[in-house]
Chain A
């Protein structure tokens, strides 16, 4: 049973909805096969910010790539606004932010942001303006003509986020985008990301192994267990928005992270037992 909202609701609600139904992914490794994900079913509402957390090897990055239609599932379906994921990708519904910033080093910052628009045949005039607007949004207006190699890790991530938003995606997919940043920069980027997400009114799916980050950003956190990757818990984060860094010190924030960390830990133990 797939609940597709009527098209007319899209004008009122931002973002796109995602429906994942009994999704499984098995990789063929020659003699062996590896089941990365099994029996994943979930619904994401328009405009929701949803996070997947889990230990490394739980298939959370694979799940994100399945949602983006970059790989085909072994079983089950992914539907985005009622269409299959590959079709949604062809219609450029996704913005994807990778673990690395993956900026093309021979293009300047603004040229990197313009690249998706070149691929989408956006007229030149419009391209420049849109790229400038997005640079403004991520706070890098003065860095348009700079080479990516000159940027710090945090700045490179901002450019990557700007690039992912340039074709007005209805869904933003984030694959541990701040994983390699230091803690202070990471927190600052989280505040930025929340602001950008609120401004763009898109649906966001974040993959992370950082519980605090997941709680800070999300409306809902989904915990994945390892081998095979499966949903072991789900928690609604009812903290008011916009969230501030001060909130991290509050008991209600701590309660969320404590609960989720507990589940993660028990999931890891179960995973270890089933391994033996």
Chain B
């Protein structure tokens, strides 16, 4: 019942927002208006699809590769922290410094180093997703239930067994939760990287649409890149729920 009510509330909220959007676009209608209404947007996406499709594919590829690279690095470094706590602290601090650097500011440097090709985009997307995964996973790996660890210790389980059987499985839901934030971050990273220099991609489409004042293309590019971001989030949200149905309900074992 509560679920139904919240569903209705959400639908109403979205309905209201779309209506407001439509209203603003309607009031500002006319040639050269910077606003595009909901219906026009759908039509624009349809019309611009031949342009948008390859751009989407390029950005998605960069984001996916960057995400994969960032995740791999973060997972490996996190696993290292189980054994070497002090090294883990050092890595965490270094990652924080790296994360504090504005990506848009270091992107030009990367372009000079690696050129305006795939490597730059993948690197920036990787940097954008790396930190979120590292912090979440490494924290989860060292905050395993003390009693669960003692339970393994009592039966004389060696370090590797404890890690594989208890520590890592307990931390996996946190890892997947971090993916939900890291995947959209990789999309943003890839888009930002394209702004600095690229041959194709949604970032470059947005940029050129802005420069040529092509309002429908600009809106539809924004729409598609947002959709990509949202889908990447939703994918990991659903996957996490499917893989770890016990996660939210595991409080019962302590009740």
Where the two chains meet, the residues of A that have a C-beta atom closer than 8 Å to any C-beta of B are 65, 68, 70, 89-92, 94-96, 98-106, 115-116, 118-120, 147-151, 153, 156, 163, 167, 180
Inter-subunit contact B147/A102 (CB<8 Å)? yes
Inter-subunit contact A70/B153 (CB<8 Å)? yes
A217, chain B: closest CB distance, angstroms: 21
- Residues of B146-160 at the interface with A, using a CB-CB cut-off of 8 Å, are 147-148, 150-157
A102, chain B: closest CB distance, angstroms: 5
Residues of B within 8 A of A151 (CB): 252-253
Task: Give the most central of B151, B161, B166: most A CB within 10 Å.
Answer: B151
CA A65 to CA B246, docked complex, whole Å: 29
CA A119 to CA B253, docked complex, whole Å: 21
User: Which among A90, A100, A119 is the interface contact of B161 at CB below 8 angstroms?
Assistant: A119
Residues of A within 8 A of B147 (CB): 98-100, 102
B195, chain A: closest CB distance, angstroms: 43
Summed over the interface, the residue pairs from A and B with CB atoms below 8 Å come to a total of: 79
Residues of A within 8 A of B47 (CB): none
Task: Give the most central of A68, A116, A163, A167: most B CB within 10 Å.
Answer: A116
Tell me the nearest residue of chain A to B251, going by C-beta. Answer: A149
B217, chain A: closest CB distance, angstroms: 48
Residues of B within 8 A of A90 (CB): 156
Tell me the nearest residue of chain A to B169, going by C-beta. Answer: A106
A181, chain B: closest CB distance, angstroms: 9
Interface range for B? 20 to 34
Inter-subunit contact A92/B165 (CB<8 Å)? no
Residues of A within 8 A of B249 (CB): 105, 149
Residues of A within 8 A of B153 (CB): 70, 89
CA A149 to CA B249, docked complex, whole Å: 6
Inter-subunit contact B155/A102 (CB<8 Å)? no
User: Which among A106, A115, A120, A156 is the interface contact of B246 at CB below 8 angstroms?
Assistant: A106
Task: Give the most central of B153, B252, B254: most A CB within 10 Å.
Answer: B252
B70, chain A: closest CB distance, angstroms: 26
CA A65 to CA B110, docked complex, whole Å: 54
Excluding A70-B150, A96-B150, 20 further A-B contacts by CB distance (< 8 Å) are: A89-B154, A90-B156, A98-B150, A99-B147, A101-B253, A102-B148, A102-B254, A104-B166, A106-B246, A116-B155, A119-B152, A120-B155, A148-B250, A148-B253, A149-B246, A149-B250, A149-B252, A149-B253, A156-B255, A180-B254
Residues of A within 8 A of B161 (CB): 119
Chain B 229-255 per-residue mask, 1 if CB under 8 angstroms from chain A, else 0? 000000000000000101101101111
A201, chain B: closest CB distance, angstroms: 20
Inter-subunit contact A92/B156 (CB<8 Å)? yes
Residues of A within 8 A of B252 (CB): 148-151, 153, 156
Task: Give the most central of B153, B169, B254: most A CB within 10 Å.
Answer: B254
CA A149 to CA B147, docked complex, whole Å: 17
Inter-subunit contact B255/A180 (CB<8 Å)? yes
Residues of A within 8 A of B253 (CB): 100-103, 105, 148-149, 151, 156
Tell me the nearest residue of chain A to B252, going by C-beta. Answer: A149
Residues of B within 8 A of A103 (CB): 253
CA A90 to CA B150, docked complex, whole Å: 13
Residues of A within 8 A of B148 (CB): 102, 104
A108, chain B: closest CB distance, angstroms: 11
A88, chain B: closest CB distance, angstroms: 10
B30, chain A: closest CB distance, angstroms: 59
Q: List 29 A-B contacts (CB under 8 A).
A: A70-B150, A89-B153, A92-B155, A92-B156, A95-B154, A96-B150, A96-B151, A96-B154, A98-B150, A100-B145, A100-B253, A100-B254, A101-B253, A101-B254, A102-B145, A102-B148, A102-B253, A104-B165, A104-B169, A105-B246, A105-B247, A105-B253, A119-B152, A148-B246, A149-B246, A149-B250, A149-B253, A156-B253, A156-B255
